[in-house]
Amino acid sequence: MINKIQAPRPVHFIDFFAFLVMAVVVVSGTLGRYVKTKFIRKYWRTIHTSLTIIVYFTSAFHILEKMNFLW
């Protein structure tokens, strides 16, 4: 564990980034569905759809990296 903290690798950034983007997608999807504020209702689909596409690409990259197909 200490070695991971002292020498972070790009893999750890990708893991953390994928987790953060997935959390944001869940929160934005929930807000867009249940909160009916004019601003959120107008823009949530644009934001949520683009974030979902980013999650798919990040997840695909993450899976390929874990299977050692990229490095």
Residues 38-67 pLDDT 10s: 777 777 778 778 888 888 888 888 788 878
Closest CA to 56 of 11, 25, 10, 13: 25
**Contact criterion met (CB below 8 Å) for 3 and 51:** no
Full-model pTM: 0.61
- Residue 5: the pLDDT is 60
- Residue 27: pLDDT over 80: yes
CA–CA gap between residue 36 and residue 51 (Å, rounded): 20
Within 10 A of 15 (CB to CB), how many other CB atoms are there? 15
CA–CA gap between residue 68 and residue 71 (Å, rounded): 6
CA–CA gap between residue 51 and residue 24 (Å, rounded): 8
Q: Round the average pLDDT of the chain to a whole number and report it.
A: 77
